[in-house]
Structure 1
Amino acid sequence: MGSVIFVDETTAGGRGDGWGMEIAEERLALRELIRRRIFQEVAEGGAAQSGAAATAAGSRLVRPAAADRPVDPQAQTEAALAAFGRNGFLVLVGDRQITDLDEEIDLPLGTEVTFLKLVALVGG
């Protein structure tokens, strides 16, 4: 069993602290890696951050739920996959950009996976 390190960055220069997740497989499709990341965030209560705290940190793919509803990890996964499809964020594994959700990624021990949130240009 190995682990990957997730790092969240923004094009504005923000970089969150990395956090690790255990992965049993040595190869996974990007789609599955995103799904596992979101389910892990939900399990660890990552969505419990207030909307302002999550936005300020620039991290986490899970968006906070309304106070009266639990977070649905499947709906969060679908939203993240849709955001990837419309270039809301890029995924880099090491120094290589992954452009296809179904691409199999090699995940040796300690692989850094960067989620780069793209910030819209003012007036664009």
Structure 2
Amino acid sequence: MPVALEVYDESTTGDRGEPIVLEFLTEEITIRELIRERVYQEVQDFNLKMAQQPVFRGLVQPTDAEQTLNGYKLKTARAIDWQRQFDMAIQAFEQSRILVLVNDRQAETLEERVTIAPGTTVSFLKLVPLVGG
């Protein structure tokens, strides 16, 4: 029986977005599996509803898209490749541009294990580089 986990996007100000519900086949997963499932689900959802929802609300910005207030708008309407998005998300995690917080503790590696239990909280925090000089 699949195990459900709610994950959230958070900002550095503490604002929390709507929950994203992910399902896993086991109660123990790695951070890599968590990121993979999240990216796969959000890309699948976008590709199915592309005509009604032209803005992609995802973990990382797709190639050939511009950032908008509520996500990323593709310059040309097209399906998004989940594997490419996953690769970019992994790279962002490895470069500390995306932090994964599990029960308010920062995950350090992609192979770190997470046990999904009642009350488990997972947040994704996107860090934005400062602009200036």
Give the TM-score taking structure 1 as reference length.
Answer: 0.80
Q: Deviations over 1:1-60 (max 9, x none)?
A: 321111001214432111212222111111111011111111111794555x74xxxxx2
Q: Share of identical aligned residues, percent?
A: 42
Question: 1 or 2, which has the higher helix percentage?
Answer: 1
By relative contact order (CA 8 Å, sep 6+), the higher-ranking structure is: 1
In structure 2, distance between residues paired with 1:72 and 1:98: 26
- Listed as ranges, the matches of 1:1-16 within 5 Å are 1-16=2-17
- Listed as ranges, the matches of 1:101-116 within 5 Å are 101-109=110-118, 111-116=120-125
Which consecutive unaligned segments of at least 5 residues does structure 1 have? 55-59
* SS of the residue 2:121 aligns to: strand
Partner of 1:77: 86
In structure 2, distance between residues paired with 1:110 and 1:40: 22
In structure 1, distance between residues paired with 2:97 and 2:60: 14
Quick one: structure 1 residues 12 and 50, their matched pair in 2 at CA, closer, same or farther if it must change by over 3 Å?
farther
Which consecutive unaligned segments of at least 5 residues does structure 2 have? 63-73
Q: Select the structure of larger CA radius of gyration.
A: 2
Give the TM-score taking structure 2 as reference length.
Answer: 0.75
2:128 to 92, 112, 119: 119
Partner of 2:66: none
1:63 to 49, 61, 71: 61
Q: Deviations over 1:50-100 (max 9, x none)?
A: 55x74xxxxx21535542432000000000000111111110111221110
In structure 1, distance between residues paired with 2:108 and 2:37: 18
Indicate the RMSD between aligned Cα atoms, in angstroms: 2.4
More deviation in 85-94 or 66-75? 66-75
Q: How many residue pairs end up in the alignment? A: 118
